[in-house]
Structure 1
């Protein structure tokens, strides 16, 4: 396989959040098959400190520290009539690097991870273009607007992102979505689907790392009676914040009516002020960023993931399942994972009483609860290893022959 440019909106190291985990494994897959030139953004000092890891996996790289204020990105977006998401990730330095890399190397393909990065594919590039949109982001912003959140701004973002998704679907030789449901959504939203090539490639999980036998439970949880519920994720991400607040305000009181010692644990970096205000109130603990999420999963009795705004496959769900932790989740959080309700997990609509009742029933059957955890891990082992998940990507990279951009 010839040289590949890999473009990602976030640094693929360290792989410690959903999108970075996926981009990390995609980059690893590509690097095992050829020379990869990586262009990406760094958001934090930890991202910058991982530059040596990036250099070891890439032939060359361009790492840009993202410092553009959101207000400036918004102003640029209004002037250019582009989505804020694109303006926020625009860099002239990265633009020049892509141009120079295309001109000085035999680049066979450009792999775009996340729609924000499609703006960097040169118009005159004649090699293959693979775009991994992951989710149909335009729908997420439309959902925000429908929920009454910054209606004009989110409505505009959804409308303009839909236009960019259409452009990329026609520009790419293959467009990847994270699940069949996301693929179907995008297919239905394209004004002209003729000639587009959409494919579903899901998320994998490192089941050797997320193995309950590899860690001890978090002691400060196990020393209290519980039952203990856990939610993990990036906690300044609005859908995660809303889900956790709902669980604390509605689900937890329903459960505590029967189990007064029940606790809900929110584990993940950058909890919002609204979440922090719930810390230590009536069974809620907001842990924030922790060195290792696995002890918290090991100590919990059930992962409760009541997402109402959800796009794509939820890594948090796969991680909990790999740790043999029973999962109680909403249909949105279950999207893209072909598990069976009642066997591998428990699916309920976001109704506090229904979810609490579902928990009470299974809590009264300890053998069934532990059996669900074991079945969940086996499901992940059988269906969500990264090798199995990414195997179809090889054909997409080579499909249609090798048309290299002439250096």
Structure 2
């Protein structure tokens, strides 16, 4: 068995947001199988502070601080006919590192984490390529384009079209293409047609021992606010999260506070947009920004609200809240890929009014809320470990007996 080259669009440390949680656990699982060389980017000094953690896992690595601005990436994309997301993550120094690693080390597998990084796989690479796209990004940009207007909408529709083409190219060239859920895998197969025969699903997991409410003290700053305390977590410069938080602020919370006037909404996550921070401190809204540990904030909440209107893949924010035995009210999109039971493990609601009513019902029935929380954690313990999620990773890498590979399906 040879060594592995791991290409990731963000440093897999710390595992504090959805994509980095998955890449973190995948990288550690790969390192348990073979020496791994890592080519990746960091967004800021806070991420670079975890370089030493990555160095302890990687046989070698190249970490580039991504400094290309969005306008520059946009001009590059227009000039080259490439998707903006590929232009944004194109870097010559990383290309040079990839060529050097392939020349100097016995690499027999390249693991591509996120579609932006497939551009670094040389066309003449003779080994195995595993492309972990996680979500169908082209479908996400189609949804953006359909909802927007003007130049932004045109760019999003352009991005959707070009990413669709890139996804088809990746599926045609990779030995295995992975998606985070059966639904995402089925969608990609439908979109790429004959190129979808090697598409598989590999789900996310959760460290339920880490996300255990029994060992976490609630965040005092959140407890200082009146209840019911409602929490929304995530990367808060990510467009779907901004839209969901805005929906909660403008459309759901007024309905909740009509019945529960002391209710507060706590938005917790790094890089909140100016449109969100401007709303903090009034109308029961608190925007906290980046925190070192999300668990105390979940422990201090009475309910997690996840009103995502555009959602792809499996939402880690939902799994984390469930593991912390917190009742979750979520949209149908946010529940995609989580095969828990509506009404027992969480509450799926579609309209603003239905979501608000579910929050109010939970606030007024603490015993029922506690029962939902217990059922949610029980479901996580039985269905959502990282060990189970990555159990078939060696098969996807071609590092198991042939007789086992012959029985591969697209099961998560």
TM range (shorter): over 0.9
Give deviations 1:264-285, integer Å, cap 9, x for gaps. 1100111111111211121111
- CA apart distance, 1:191: 4.2
Classify the secondary structure of the residue corresponding to 1:101: helix
Farther off after superposition, 361-370 or 86-95: 361-370
* Partners of 2:220 and 2:48 in 1: CA distance: 33
| Superposed CA offset, 1:58-113 (max 9, x none) | 11111111111111111111111000100110111111111121122111100000
- Determine the structure 2 residue equivalent to 1:165: 167
Secondary structure at the counterpart of residue 99 of structure 2: helix
Q: Name the structure 2 match of 1:66.
A: 66
Partner of 1:187: 189
The 5 A counterparts of 1:89-168 are 89-149=89-149, 150-168=152-170
Alignment length (residue pairs): 400
Partner SS state of residue 333, structure 2: helix
Which residue of structure 1 aligns with residue 352 of structure 2? 352
Deviation at residue 152 of structure 1 after TM alignment: 0.5
After superposition, what is the alpha-carbon deviation per residue over 1:329-387, rounded to whole angstroms, capped at 9, x for unaligned?
000111111010001000011x2211122233343332221011011111111111111
Q: Distance in 2 between matches of 1:218 and 1:295?
A: 5
Structure 2: distance between partners of 1:356 and 1:50? 40
Matched with 1:273 is 274
TM-score, structure 2 as length reference: 0.94
Deviation at 1:300, TM superposition (A): 0.6
CA shift digits 1:273-303 (9 cap, x unpaired): 1111211121111111122211110011100
Decide whether aligned partners of structure 1 residues 46 and 225 sit closer, same or farther in structure 2, where only a CA change above 3 A counts.
Answer: closer
Look up the match of 1:374: 374
Check conservation: 2:225, 2:264, Cα contact below 8 A.
no
Deviations 1:299-323 (A, max 9, x none): 1110000000111111111110010
The CA distance in 1 between the partners of 2:226 and 2:158, in whole Å, is: 48
Cα deviation for residue 153 of structure 1 reads: 0.4
Q: Over residues 138-163 of structure 1, what are the superposed CA-to-partner deviations in whole Å (9 max), with x where a residue is unaligned?
A: 11111111001521000000000000
Is the CA contact 2:207–2:386 (under 8 Å) kept in the aligned structure 1?
A: yes
What is aligned with 2:2? 2
Alignment partner, residue 230 of structure 2: 229
User: What TM-score do the two structures reach when normalised by structure 1?
Assistant: 0.96
Between the aligned partners of 1:64 and 1:227, the Cα distance in structure 2 is 43
Instruction: Judge conservation of contact 2:302–2:363 (CA < 8 Å) in 1.
Output: no
Q: Distance in 1 between matches of 2:178 and 2:164?
A: 15
Question: Any idea what SS the aligned residue of 1:192 has?
Answer: helix
- Give distance in 2, aligned partners of 1:233 and 1:361: 25
User: CA-to-partner distance for each residue in 1:130-182, whole Å, 9 max, x for gaps?
Assistant: 00000000111111110015210000000000000000001110000000110
Aligned to 2:407: none
Structure 1 CA distance, aligned partners of 2:266 and 2:355? 17
1:193 Cα deviation from its structure 2 partner: 3.0
What is the alpha-carbon distance in structure 1 between the residues aligned to residue 367 and residue 46 of structure 2? Answer: 42
- Rounded to whole Å, the distance in 1 between the matches of 2:289 and 2:107 is 42
What corresponds to 1:325 in structure 2? 326
| SS in structure 2 at match of 1:162 | helix
Q: Secondary structure at the match of 2:230?
A: strand
SS in 1 for 2:189: helix
Comparing 24-33 with 38-47, greater Cα deviation is found at 38-47
Cα gap change, 1:357/1:171 in structure 2, threshold over 3 Å: closer, same or farther?
A: same
Q: Is the 8 A contact 2:314 2:334 kept in 1?
A: yes
C-alpha distance in 2 between matches for 1:258 and 1:321: 25
Aligned to 2:194, what secondary structure does the other structure show? Answer: coil
Q: Which residue of 2 aligns with 1:311?
A: 312
Return the structure number with greater relative CO, CA threshold 8 A, min gap 6: 1
CA–CA distance in 2 between the matches of 1:148 and 1:355? 25
| Worse-superposed segment, 281-290 or 173-182 | 281-290
Give 1:401 shift. Answer: 8.0
Q: Name the structure 2 match of 1:214.
A: 215
Structure 2: tracts of 5 or more residues without a match: 403-412
Measure the CA separation in 1 of the matches of 2:49 and 2:89: 20
Check if 1:396 corresponds to 2:396.
Answer: yes
